């Protein structure tokens, strides 16, 4: 009997007929925990309770304007952390032939795990056409402390924003452009599909910038630009849609910004 | 003055990049340009970070591994970006010997000339482009040639029948260190201009 009590203290209370204060007693080697439907939320700080189809953890503190994080998931490693290590959450429901069926996952992944240089990103994984979960969106940032990108909208109907399958940078906002007037270039030349001479930036960029290029014609002859070849030091634009023999004194308004 | 540089036409400050060019272009004959021996260092592509709060040992290791470098101000460092194929987009330096180039005009049509520095299997070569009526007449570039970031001599038009380069204005690349006087990095994240 003594051995049985030491090995199984709950044998003293079978079945439970009143609330049990474990007083810091740890429960280990549990198989499965079932919550009955109390149809009510937790009654106090630090409690977990089922109400209908929701399991609620309640953590109460005295904050007024800060964000609480009542739930922490910690997944460390016995190995040596390296780039691509991460922590995530898998969400499952049910489909016609899968139960459980993976519906989505959120992964936080490090591209840099160096001391004091950690960089992480958020990956959103979705399924397409019955295939397994796959990363479809990734959010990352190199911004300094205290700066966030705020995405907001004021649509009055459903809107779909489709991104084209090309490389590039979405340029938003306005920037002050410095207008520099220079002498004519390519004197005697015509555009007519020719590359205009290369433009050098006043100051080299540390990475390839995004460039917008707007042609301006003083004699109302329409033309456009395409094929902007760019580098960190300058760019070359290809003029299009110009009639042969157009004079070379047209203008090209350009703007470059480091994303 | 035939050989010159101007803002947006060859004159560029290196800013926070290792960009440098000691190759000097000179007219040494009526229709001859000489590119004097020198080096060209590309900018590479990098992300600039503050040193504040960074682990010195980690940064030193990255520098030793060729993945980063310190900036001259001692307060920031650059971390080289990588291309999709994993190539580290670090700065490169190319060296050329002195080369004399003879230009030829067309008796009836203008000729468009440009002189670029190209890399062929890692070695620097001078590439002359000569376009008449929209067609390249200087021959195809060697296999594997890739342009090294920017022209040395910017495209200019040689009038039909020209026999002397002196009357022309030919823009060449001139690199100055740092930033324009009185300015710093934040003044140049956005740049614009009007080209005529």
Largest Cα–Cα distance of chain A, in whole Å?
109
pLDDT in tens, B33-60: 999 999 999 999 999 988 776 677 888 8
- Chain A residue numbers with beta carbons less than 8 Å from the beta carbon of B112 are 189, 194
Q: Which helix (H) or strand (E) holds A87?
A: strand A86-93
Question: Which CB contacts under 8 angstroms, 24+ apart, belong to A149-153?
Answer: none
Which B residues 25-64 touch A at CB under 8 Å? 43, 45-48, 50, 53-55, 57-59, 62
Q: What pLDDT does residue A9 have?
A: 57
Enumerate the residues of chain A whose CB falls inside 8 A of the CB of residue B16: 206
Alpha helices in A8-144 (DSSP H): none
Q: Is the pLDDT of residue A111 over 60?
A: yes
Q: Which residues pair with A30 in a beta bridge?
A: none
Which residue of chain B comes nearest to A198, CA vs CA? B154
Which of A187, A204, A208, A206 shows the shortest CA–CA distance to A196?
A187
Res. A177: pLDDT tops 60: no
pTM for this model (two decimals): 0.56
Q: Please tell me the distance from the alpha carbon of residue B17 to that of residue A258, in angstroms, as a whole number.
A: 14
Give ∠ CA A161-A258-B170 in degrees, rounded to 5.
125
Q: In what order do the strands lie in the sheet with A101-112?
A: A86-93, A101-112, A119-126, A134-139
Position with higher pLDDT, B49 vs A40: A40
| B105 has a chain A CB within 8 A of its CB | no
For residue B180, the chain A residues in CB contact (below 8 A) are 202-203
Question: Which tens digit of pLDDT belongs to each residue from A200-234?
Answer: 899 999 999 988 877 665 554 445 555 577 889 98
Q: Which pLDDT score is estimated for B146?
A: 80
| pLDDT of amino acid A166 | 63
Lowest mean pLDDT among A246-250, B52-56, B107-111, B176-180: A246-250
- Strand bridging mode A251-257 / A210-216: antiparallel
Q: How far is the C-alpha of B118 from the C-alpha of B102, rounded, in Å?
A: 19
Asked if the model's pLDDT at residue B73 lies above 80, the reply is yes
Region A105-111 average pLDDT = 97
CA distances to A178, A188, B118, B185, B187 from A171, rounded to whole Å, are 18, 35, 31, 20, 18
Query: A12, exposed or middle or buried, with CB in 10 Å at 0-12, 13-18, 19+?
Result: exposed
Looking at beta carbons, which residues of chain A come within 8 Å of B176? none
Four-residue CA torsion sign, B111, B147, B126, B195: positive
Who contacts B129 (Cβ-Cβ below 8 Å, separation ≥6)? Answer: B112, B113, B114, B115, B116, B136, B138, B155
**Digit-coded pLDDT (tens) for A181-196:** 222 333 333 333 344 5
How confident is the model over B19-40, as a mean pLDDT?
Answer: 95
Q: What is the mean pLDDT of chain A?
A: 78
Give the Å distances, CA to CA, from B177 to A197, A213, B21, B43: 24, 27, 10, 12
**Contact between chains at B193 and A203 (C-beta distance less than 8 A):** no
CB contact under 8 A, A256 and B53: no
With a threshold of 0.90, tell me whether the complex ipTM lies above it. Answer: no
> Which of B8, B54, B190 is closest, CB to CB, to A180?
B8
- The whole-number pLDDT of residue A185 equals 33
> B144 — contact with chain A (CB < 8 Å)?
no
Q: What is the mean pLDDT of residues B140-164?
A: 84
């Amino acid at each position: 009997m003594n051995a049985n009590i030491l090995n199984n203290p709950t044998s003293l209370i079978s079945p439970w007929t009143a609330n049990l204060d474990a007083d810091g007693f740890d429960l280990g080697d549990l198989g499965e925990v079932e919550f009955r439907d109390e149809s009510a939320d937790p009654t106090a700080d630090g409690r977990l309770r089922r109400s209908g189809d929701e399991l609620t953890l309640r953590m109460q503190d005295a904050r007024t304007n800060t964000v609480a994080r009542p739930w922490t998931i910690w997944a460390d490693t016995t190995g040596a952390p390296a780039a691509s290590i991460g922590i995530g959450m898998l969400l499952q429901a049910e489909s016609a032939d899968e139960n459980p069926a993976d519906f989505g996952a959120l992964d936080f992944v490090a591209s840099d795990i160096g001391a004091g240089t950690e960089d992480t990103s958020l990956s959103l994984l979705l399924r397409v056409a019955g295939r397994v979960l796959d990363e479809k969106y990734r959010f990352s940032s190199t911004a300094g402390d205290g700066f966030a990108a705020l995405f907001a909208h004021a649509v009055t109907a459903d809107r779909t924003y489709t991104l084209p399958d090309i490389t590039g940078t979405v340029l938003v906002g306005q920037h002050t452009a410095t207008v520099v007037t220079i002498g004519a270039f390519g004197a005697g030349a015509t555009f007519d599909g020719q590359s205009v001479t290369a433009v050098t930036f006043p100051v080299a960029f540390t990475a390839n910038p995004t460039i917008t290029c707007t042609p301006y014609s003083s004699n109302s002859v329409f033309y456009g630009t395409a094929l902007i070849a760019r580098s960190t030091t300058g760019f070359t634009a290809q003029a299009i849609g110009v009639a042969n023999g157009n004079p070379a004194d047209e203008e090209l308004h350009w703007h470059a910004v480091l994303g | 003055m035939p050989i010159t540089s101007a803002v947006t036409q060859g004159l560029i400050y290196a800013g926070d990049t290792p960009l440098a060019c000691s190759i000097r272009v000179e007219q040494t004959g009526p229709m001859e340009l000489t590119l004097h021996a020198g080096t060209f260092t590309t900018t590479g592509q990098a992300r600039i970070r503050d040193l504040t709060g960074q682990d010195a040992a980690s940064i030193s290791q990255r520098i030793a591994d060729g993945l980063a470098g310190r900036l001259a101000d001692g307060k920031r460092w650059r971390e080289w970006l990588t291309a999709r194929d994993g190539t580290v987009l670090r700065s490169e330096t190319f060296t050329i010997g002195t080369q004399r180039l003879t230009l030829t005009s067309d008796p009836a049509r203008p000729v468009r000339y440009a002189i670029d520095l190209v890399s062929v299997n890692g070695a620097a070569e001078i590439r002359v482009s000569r376009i008449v009526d929209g067609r390249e007449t200087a021959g195809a570039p060697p296999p594997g040639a890739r342009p090294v970031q920017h022209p040395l001599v910017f495209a200019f038009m040689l009038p039909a029948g020209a026999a002397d380069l002196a009357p022309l204005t030919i823009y060449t690349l001139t690199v100055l260190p740092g930033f324009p006087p009185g300015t710093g990095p934040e003044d140049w994240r956005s740049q614009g201009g009007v080209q005529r």
